[in-house]
Amino acid sequence: MIVFCKAKLSDIVSMQELVKPEVEKGIILFRNSDEIATNIRSYILAKEDSNIVGFGALHFHADDLAEVRSLVVKDTERSKGVGKGIVNTLLEEGRQLGVKRVFTLTYKKAFFEAVGFIEIPKESLPSHKIWADCIKCKHFPICDEIALIKNL
């Protein structure tokens, strides 16, 4: 059975191992262990028998706006609803904290549409803070990620 829970500092090494193939492909941005530790409260894990099979983070940008980022499910566990479960857990946490809108920048448009996001022009994302990570990305400045948003 899959359970969704908050990450702990002791999970960081396993999280980095799980996301490594997606980082190498340039799908997910590399985050070093200090950066993950600083933001550890943002992360939700999907665990099966105490093994991490996926995770994602809800990063806050403003008093009403957050971002789903670093979402990954172990390749052998995909298409079983794990990604959806992680996103729904992140959205529920956002709702409880008073977030009104959640966006994501992704190559997985169909997945995010399946969990209720709609595509918006990237340029409509409100703050320059959102783009601060882009410079760290392998694909900068030629980016074909899509922006999607969901109102909570």
Ligand X SMILES: CC(C)(COP(=O)(O)OP(=O)(O)OC[C@H]1O[C@@H](n2cnc3c(N)ncnc32)[C@H](O)[C@@H]1OP(=O)(O)O)[C@@H](O)C(=O)NCCC(=O)NCCS
Q: Which residues of the shown chain bind ligand X in the complex (CB under 6 A)?
A: 22, 27-28, 71-73, 78-84, 104, 106-108, 110-111, 114
Q: At its nearest, how many Å lie between ligand X and the CB of residue 68?
A: 7
The residue (of 43 and 111) whose beta carbon lies closer to ligand X is 111
Q: At its nearest, how many Å lie between ligand X and the CB of residue 7?
A: 16
Q: At its nearest, how many Å lie between ligand X and the CB of residue 28?
A: 6
Q: At its nearest, how many Å lie between ligand X and the CB of residue 95?
A: 19
d(CA 134, CA 124): 16
The residue (of 12 and 28) whose beta carbon lies closer to ligand X is 28
The residue (of 98 and 140) whose beta carbon lies closer to ligand X is 140
The residue (of 12 and 19) whose beta carbon lies closer to ligand X is 19
Task: Output the residue with the shortest Cβ distance to ligand X.
Answer: 83
Q: At its nearest, how many Å lie between ligand X and the CB of residue 149?
A: 13
Q: Could you give the strand order of the β-sheet that contains 118-120, starting from the edge strand earlier in sequence?
A: 2-6, 43-48, 51-60, 65-73, 101-106, 146-151, 118-120
Q: How large is the C-alpha radius of gyration of the chain?
A: 15
Answer for the pair 102, 96: CB distance below 8 angstroms, yes or no. Answer: no
| CA-based torsion, 20, 23, 24, 25: positive or negative | positive
